[in-house]
Structure 1
Amino acid sequence: MIEIIGEEGTEEYDAAVAISDALAKLWPGLRESPSELEHVKIAPNAKLAGYKVSDVDIVVAGVFAKPRYFVPRKALHDQDGKRLGSVKVKVENLVVAVEVKGHDAGGINVAGDEVTVRYPEGWKSATGQNIDQVHALAKYFEHQHLSTWVYRCVALQGIPALPISNGKSVPEAGAVAFGFSGSDFLTAVTGVNGVRKFGRDFVLSSIPMTKARKVLEASIFRAIVPSKLDRAKMDRIAARRSEAKDLAELLGQHMVRLKGHGGTGKTIMLLQAAHEAFVGHGRRCIVLTYNVALAADITRLLALLRIPGASDGGGVEVKTVMSFVYTWLNRLGLEEEEAEDDFDAYVGKCATALEWIDMGTVSASDISKAKDAEQSLLDFDVVLVDEGQDWPQAEADLLTRLYDPSTILVADGLDQLVRGERTNWHSAAGGKENVSEKSLARCLRMKRNLGVFANAMAENAGLNWSIEPSDEAAGGKVLVSYEPYTSLGPTRQALLVEAQTTGNSLVDFLHCVPASEVVGSQNGPRSNLANQFELEGLATWDAVNRAARKDFPRSLETARIVQYESCRGLEGWVTVLDGLDEFWHRKFDASLRQDTSSYGFLDPNERASRVAWQWVMIALTRPIDTLVITLRDPQSEVAKVIEAVAKSHGDFVQRID
């Protein structure tokens, strides 16, 4: 059986069809063979989230329980580098990352075993891009608890044959030309790393056969289908609104700062600006956020919109800011890549890099050379910063040394400080006169009642916080219970049925849980809610687990679960805040434990309460239609405030049990 998972109409999809046809011709009967006997999955335009490479042109995976062989078209080597003559290779299973290039002969150069291709700005290594894809894909499978050897291949679809040197096609391995056969493809795949001998057979294998089937079950081989909520967001992003056009025009002239409370549409407008910069101007954009779950969510949206990562023709890349900065620290010679330092150590390294640049130890030429050497990782025309109010100052200042401040757009959440002091982007840009500001006040996410509820909660909590409730989307309701959400089976079923009648899906639900609802498992942290959903036969994207958080849900029938700290920027048609008072107390206690000597005469309890409520307001602005809040203690501070709000808004705040 052969499956192609993806949408038609792209160069990558055409190449995927060519691979399918080549393997089917090599092995007659493969297409009709039962999947339990042999199964090949081919995923063009595969998206990864949270890895150095976000786009893999084609991923090929196959498992063969019946003997399948091929005869190499040229000499191979074994695992010890010994040259093999005419042999027959048994294929047990394989995982391949394929890079697709459509350049003609004049745009391709081969030197040794490296393929480079020409772009307007110069020659770039297709082989290097392919190797980066291999590393990202191997890391992805590692996070699925699958130690997988990923092979590579460059498909040169714009030339009829590989170049010939001294009577031999070059490179010796690692590439195929248009019209390739199944043997050509597998020869290129095995030629890079050689084959191993097991018993009498030379064998091509990526993973032990006992685990090979699990590779085919990985989420990367599931088609991403948009929900109703996805389509609404896609329409908003792709609408090319005048505001997005204006922002895209400003980039390159001034730093742009979007200001607004939660729910006012900062992240969507940021993505609208990125979309316009790509579609209207062909710019290479990068979106930076410290929220891993949000990075995955944005990557999912870009996949649905079929927007590529920052490729040679422009695109939008999404990275966590720490991962991105660590890549820079590595290129500047300050730190090993992918370090897992604590936050304070990371900030210190940002400050050191900033000092190196300001003292001239790292020059503008060094920065430019790093971008030229790592164009896919570091060279961007537009930098879009999410939740910019919470960046350490050294981190923000470093970004403006690495990129022209006029190419940076910052989404700045008012009163959403959770990491420290407010970032001064004016000073980072060299002065307020270099920054264009746009304030967002109207609530764009939540239906009107939910905006009214958020305002009332902030007022009763003593916060100087307000948004302008929507005048376009009426309705919205709040459900409150003193039972854990896992115990509200009938309510959960009724909410799902209600959502489905309006065209929404389970993936449109967002469930936020406190740390007390996270337990250990064989594969790392897991939420009690995910365990309950699993017992009920529901799939989950349980992002309390970091490995899960780096990917994104690919099915409409998947429940999204995050810890409260990861909910910023996310939204749900139905948003569940489970154990909200527990979360409040956790943030209150954490604030009390901090050194308060720098806060003067401000009462520590008052400050801790304010910090906890600021976190709660972030969570309260995640819903679109329905907000479900569960509480553990009727005497908690959160419960008292909610009860006070419910008295004056009983028309849409309801108690459930």
Structure 2
Amino acid sequence: MGVKISIKGNKETSEHKDAIALKEIFETEFRNKQIDGEILIICNATLFGQSTKDIDLIAIGKFDKYRQRLKTKSRTKNQGADTIETLDQEMRTVFVNDFCFVFETKRHRATDIQLNGLTLTVKYNNKRSDVTTQSENQKYSLKGFFEDRINFSPMICNFIWLRNVTWDSIKNLLGNNTNIHDKHNYLPSTFSVPFLMQLACIQTTPWTPFDYKTNNIKGYSTFNCLKRNQEIDFDEIDRIFDLFKKVKNGSGELTRRKISHITSKILNDQQYAKAIGDKLIVISGRAGTGKTIKLLSIACDLATLQGARSLILTYNHALVSDIKRTLALAEIPDGIDDYTVNISTLHKFFYELVVGFEIADSVKESKNNKKYILNFVKNYKEHLTTLIEYLDLELIGDKEISDLMKTRHQQVGWDYLLIDEAQDWSELEKNVIFRIFGKEKVIIADGVDQLIRSQNKCNWTRTLKPNIGFKKTHEKKGLRQKVNLVEFVNQFAEKLNVNWKLEPKKELIGGKIIISTKEYEQSLHQRQFDLCVKNGNSAYEMMFLVPPSLVERYQTTDEYDRPKEDKRFRHLEKYKNYGINIWDGTSAELRTEYVVDLNSHKLLQYESCRGLEGWTVINLDFDKFIEYKMQTFTEEENNELALESFEEKRNRFVYLWALIPMTRAIDTLVITLNDKESYIAKVLREIYEENPDFIEWIE
């Protein structure tokens, strides 16, 4: 029967050529041998839903009675022993039963490759890119992908395949350090299957069975990627790697339109385009004027037209998830040696800066030589203050910054930083960005007066002259919401004495508002979902927003069965019984990834909705959210004259906040109220009575 070897993936890529080369290596090994088995090689895999999504090569195989003589350690457990014993490295007969390998392929010359300790880097645009970390991330993303999709959890070995480097060059790179020789995962341009398995045994140590009859270990070992009683289902694995194509083809009209917008070339038509790279770019406008999508479009343009690496920064985890999903569907690369657009929370980005500069005693080192900081967010302001002090004292200068961009190229070496909701950043955060990257690399979206993190607006253009130090655009038209929704929000703001006025885009005719003093019911949902689908959208384009009162904490366990606390939507089971499938973004675990199920609606807390949108948006218990914001408001100190009372400041801050969830819907906004006698309910009732033609009231 022999070993069946098949390749899956895009044939028009260099990675497909690598897949063919890998297939030939396997064929050479098994030619004229009486071995049965199957190997599936996947090239250009997109791990949809994972933090690292682009994988060059994956190889999965299983065999019947395939063995090799390999120099390796082994593990065993003697009869009655409580612990597993590791046996010394020596030549052993190893039966390879099954394997799961992931390969990062590089075409760099040997002169462009460096080894710093156990970290391999390659040269890219005169910068050093960390391939070792990239390869590790791919391994864990593939593991997560298998677990999420088919509850399959193999031991995965990862390799760096240097397609233009000989084994002699790799040995020169490794030098005489035998410790490194036993730990590396580097493959030369050509290699044999025994060589590959030799390296695999470094990562997954073979098992030597114990012979209870002789009371001794047996004379052979086994290499497995699977746990006992697990099987490789090649048909199922083949199916899940079609997930990306299935989701992309099944995406709703709203998602398709967003992808089309961000991948269209907009910079050629914009006056500010020539100032990018020379001045700070400011895109100013209120909620719904398209600032976030414009940032995405600019980043994609810079990537595809200039080959630039752009990073979008936000503090909203839910927005990170949504943009990651959009970039994945738009097939924008997330690698280290190509153009790319990525997105990160600002806390994660500043963490990488502080770790990279090894500020004071805050940076620790783990047993595997990884640097880390304990309680970074808790001491966030102190870390940034110390970073500024180092810059002021010139302990961090141009050389240190240049070195950081090279050594941590993947994490911080970006050509452009694009900052969402920049008005809500602190002056400290702004100063760090300007001092390290310079204003010329920065493009910001300024949401005018909508503040969440602070009551004091960050002034990014202070000390800069218009058209010399910065270039600013003023977005005035509502590009998200249909005319009726823009008018509704304008009236809502006016009745609450909030300074807000958005000009509707006349072409976006229509729009409906539904306000209910009852709980959200199955019949109402079905009616809205049918309309959503009728307009070409999927469940993903229908978004639920909830206040803290609809979120509960519960005890669960992590992957190591250790107790931990998480959160969930209170009515998850009830909605499931209604037939409403929910991706619960209130959970800390889910919030960092994104929706992959076409039949799931996303559900988030109000606090996480900024920057997001939906064809239909359901604001559950909206009055309870307002009540919560009123109760938790605390006045911040500033240097301004006390011209407003505490109540006036609180009302202005909370009501401006309330406009954010009001401006998420494109076509239909559904609002449920917990108390029809609340102040907000009475305001909404007044607006309904003045506009019964496009507002529906349900008692």
- 1:387 and 2:421 correspond: yes
Equivalents in 2 of 1:221, 1:255: separation in Å? 42
> Which one of the candidate residues 106, 131, 134 is aligned to 1:101?
106
Matched, 1:258 2:300: no
Q: 1:16-415 to 2 correspondence within 5 Å?
A: 28=36, 30=38, 44-46=45-47, 54-58=52-56, 60=58, 70-72=66-68, 74-78=70-74, 80=86, 82-91=88-97, 94=100, 96-103=101-108, 117-121=122-126, 124=129, 126-134=131-139, 150-157=156-163, 162-163=167-168, 174-176=185-187, 185-192=196-203, 194-199=205-210, 200=218, 202-204=221-223, 208=227, 222-223=243-244, 224-225=247-248, 226-242=251-267, 246-309=271-334, 311-334=336-359, 335-336=362-363, 339=373, 341=375, 345-415=379-449
Shift of 1:320: 0.6
SS at 1:77 equivalent = strand
Deviations 1:507-534 (A, max 9, x none): 1111111111112343621113433343
State whether residues 170 and 188 of structure 2, in contact with CA within 8 Å, keep that contact through their aligned partners in structure 1.
Answer: no
- Alignment partner of 2:582: what SS? strand
Cα deviation digits, residues 484-516 of structure 1 (max 9, x gap):
32xx10111122222112211001111111111
Distance 1:642 1:187, change over 3 A: farther
1:415 aligns to what SS in structure 2? coil
Q: Report the CA distance shift for 1:329/1:612 in structure 2 as closer, same or farther (over 3 A).
A: same
Q: CA deviation at 1:158?
A: 5.2
| Distance in 2 between residues matched to 1:163 and 1:101, nearest whole Å | 17
Q: Is the 8 A contact 1:251 1:406 kept in 2?
A: yes
**Mean Cα displacement is larger for which, 513-522 or 336-345?**
336-345
Comparing 544-553 with 2-11, greater Cα deviation is found at 2-11
Q: Matched residues in 2 for 1:347 and 1:110: separation?
A: 35
The farther-off stretch of 195-204 and 535-544 is: 195-204
Decide which moves more: 529-538 or 448-457: 529-538
1:412-466 deviation line (CA, Å, top 9, x unaligned): 1122111111111123869984121111011111111111111111111110011
Residue 352 of structure 2: SS of its match in structure 1? helix
User: 1:323, CA displacement in angstroms?
Assistant: 0.5
Shift of 1:595: 7.2
Mark the structure with the bigger radius of gyration: 2
CA deviation vs aligned residue, 1:329-376 (integer Å, no higher than 9, x gap): 112223346657486731232122112202212222112111111111
How many residues are paired up?
A: 641
Q: Which amino acid aligns with 1:495?
A: Q
Q: What is the identity, as a one-letter code, of the residue corresponding to 2:462?
A: S
TM-score normalised over the length of structure 2: 0.80
Q: Would you say the 8 A contact 2:15–2:44 is kept in 1?
A: no
1:640 equivalenced with 2:641 (yes/no): no
Distance 1:234 1:90 in 2: 44
- Within the candidate set 625, 649, 671, 1:607 is matched to 649
* 1:437 and 2:472 matched: yes
Q: Check conservation: 1:12, 1:45, Cα contact below 8 A.
A: no
The answer on whether the counterparts of 1:299 and 1:318 sit within 8 Å (CA) in structure 2 is yes
Cα distance between partner residues in 2 of 1:364 and 1:588: 46
1:547 aligns with 2:586: no
1:439-478 correspondence runs (5 A):
439-478=474-513
The AA in structure 1 aligned to 2:665 is P
- Partner Cα distance (1:531, 1:99) in 2: 42
CA distance in 2, matches of 1:329, 1:455: 43
Compute the RMSD of aligned alpha carbons: 4.1
Distance 1:579 1:110, change over 3 A: closer
Preserved contact between residue 510 and residue 575 of structure 1 (Cα < 8 Å): yes
Structure-2 change in CA distance of 1:594 and 1:414 (3 Å): closer
Q: Structure 1 residue 119: deviation in Å?
A: 3.9
Q: Which moved more, 1:247-256 or 1:582-591?
A: 247-256
Q: In structure 1, what is the Cα distance between the partners aligned to 2:185 and 2:109? A: 18
Q: 1:166 to 1:465 in 2, by over 3 A?
A: closer
AA of the residue aligned to 1:502: N
Once the 2 structures are TM-superposed, how far is the Cα of residue 247 of structure 1 from its aligned partner? 4.2
Bigger CA drift: 139-148 or 190-199?
139-148
State the partner residue of 1:36: none
- 2:528 is the alignment partner of 1:495: yes
Render the CA deviation track for 1:593-632: whole Å, top value 9, x for unaligned. Answer: 7779977252222222222212210111111111111110
- State the alpha-carbon separation in 2 of the partners of residues 559 and 3 from structure 1: 37
Q: Which ranges in structure 1 are unaligned for 5 or more consecutive residues?
A: 32-38
Q: Which residue of 2 aligns with 1:628?
A: 670
1:575 Cα offset (Å): 0.9
2:598 alignment counterpart: 556
Quote how far apart the aligned CAs of 1:571 are.
0.6
Q: Where do 1:583-598 residues align within 5 Å?
A: 583-592=625-634
Identity percentage of aligned residues = 25
Paired residue for 2:367?
none
Query: Does structure 1 retain, via aligned residues, the 8 Å contact 2:128–2:408?
Result: no
Larger displacement relative to structure 2 (592-601 or 254-263): 592-601
Please, which runs of 5 or more residues in structure 2 have no aligned partner?
A: 76-85, 176-180, 211-217, 364-370, 558-565
* Secondary structure, aligned partner of 2:334: coil
User: For the structure 1 residues 249 and 546, does the alpha-carbon distance in structure 2 shift closer, same or farther, using more than 3 Å as the test?
Assistant: farther
8 Å contact 2:544–2:619 — kept in the other structure? yes
Cα distance in 1, alignment partners of residues 651 and 548 from structure 2:
19
